Structure 1
Amino acid sequence: MHTDNSKPYNITTPITEHKVLEAAADILACKYIRDDAFTSSEATKEFLRFKLGKYEREVFAVMLLDSQHKLIDYTELFFGTIDAAAVYPREVVKLVLNENAAAVIFAHNHPSGINEPSIADKNITKRLQEALALIDVRVLDHIIIGDGTYSFAENGLI
């Protein structure tokens, strides 16, 4: 999460769409860190749309949450191609332990715009859930960002 307030935007340089979306995501993150965290699925999806909607290749991200589901950190962990990203459970577990997270929300984008999870999406989610269960970390959701959003939790897959 970008929170460096020491460098204001230079108004003589054009602001890119990417910078506008990053700023919007930062505003949302600050709002929900102060309030009741990411307990609202709509707020979570909105945050993730700003973060992941801009990419033209698949990006797999992890929202690391404390026991009250407040955001500890948002990390874009794996970067792939236009239609796939390799995800390694070992790296996810290392990140979760390093940040002392109690829960996580996974997210990735589908540059094709299709929101439905693939078989690979379902399989990696199950593997990640199993790996994190061994260290008592809850997987709250896995959200896919395409032309809309798809929540594994809302569709009974988590």
Structure 2
Amino acid sequence: MENALNEFTEKPVSDFALRDDLPRWMSDLIAQNKATPDRFGERFERIATDTMSDFDLLCLILTRAMPDHDVKPLADALLRTFADFNSVITAPITRLTEIPGLGTAATRELKIVEAAAHRMAQARVIRKDVLSSWDALLSYCQTRMAHLETEQFRVLYLDRKNILIADEAQQMGTVDHVPVYPREVIKRGLELNASALILVHNHPSGDPNPSDADIEMTQSIQTGAEFLGLQLHDHLVIGKSTHYSFRSHGLI
């Protein structure tokens, strides 16, 4: 019996989910170990969310979209592909759909979680004095951009009280370059009647240190902005877990 049990338990539960020729004791064992919405929901209610593993949290989300499936192998495949929970929910839809078994409903559920995370982080900085909420701003930028697989250039436009009035993605680029047009950045600031701006872009490599091109572009925008009465507060480069501030390093 031990050998038979080993033979069965070495295979995923899902391999036997539709079989009706198993002994009763084995069917019960499979049922007890199958991931279900109720089981993960009970675990979610029982422990603090910040102590849940990435695996458990992914299983909880996936069971909402796939209540009749054993989602544990799928959660495992996602984490093996993207490394961690944040990277999973921020992965492009085109990458997510490459994972066997991840359908439209589950992909949509993951992107809803991503949108909710962005909205919550943005709520901490919108209509507030950004300079006095700097940690919240950094958290927002990190949440929004740290796990992108290509470079993105954003501009935060502020009014005369340093209240955020617009957060705009100006350009999307490649894995190591994003085109930036200083004239368009400044022109948009004038259209919004902004008084100041903060530049933000990410480095998918994870290293936030600016390139020579980053420094040259920043200086060009600063010169043009000051000429037209706009103040450049900072340029933030977002890495995987850290950031680089041009102002803190004396480059602005």
TM-score, L = length of structure 2: 0.55
Mapping of residues 108-119 of structure 1, within 5 Å: 108-119=201-212
Which residue of 113, 125, 129 corresponds with 1:32?
125
Deviation at 1:23, TM superposition (A): 2.3
Q: Give the total of aligned pairs.
A: 147
Q: 1 CA distance for matches of 2:197 and 2:115?
A: 21
Unmatched runs of 5 consecutive residues or more in structure 2: 1-63, 66-104
Q: Secondary structure at the match of 2:149?
A: coil
| CA displacement 1:61-111 (0-9 Å, x = unmatched) | 000111111110100101111100110011101211111111100000000
Deviation at 1:40, TM superposition (A): 3.3
Residue 50 of structure 1 corresponds to which residue in structure 2? 143
Which is strand-richer, 1 or 2?
Answer: 1
Larger relative contact order (CA 8 Å, sep ≥ 6): 1
| CA displacement 1:19-59 (0-9 Å, x = unmatched) | 43432232232233354434333222111111112311110
Mapping of residues 1-158 of structure 1, within 5 Å: 12=65, 13-14=105-106, 15-16=109-110, 18-147=111-240, 148-158=242-252
Q: 2 CA distance for matches of 1:21 and 1:105?
A: 23
Q: Which has the larger radius of gyration?
A: 2
Q: 2 CA distance for matches of 1:154 and 1:20?
A: 33
Question: More displaced, 33-42 or 112-121?
Answer: 33-42
Q: 1:101 to 1:118 in 2, by over 3 A?
A: same
Q: CA RMSD in A?
A: 1.7
Which is helix-richer, 1 or 2?
Answer: 2
Residue 6 of structure 1 corresponds to which residue in structure 2? none
Q: 1:19 to 1:77 in 2, by over 3 A?
A: farther
- The answer to whether the 8 A contact 2:127-2:164 is kept is no
Q: 1 CA distance for matches of 2:142 and 2:179?
A: 21
Q: 2 CA distance for matches of 1:96 and 1:35?
A: 18
Q: 1:34 to 1:94 in 2, by over 3 A?
A: closer
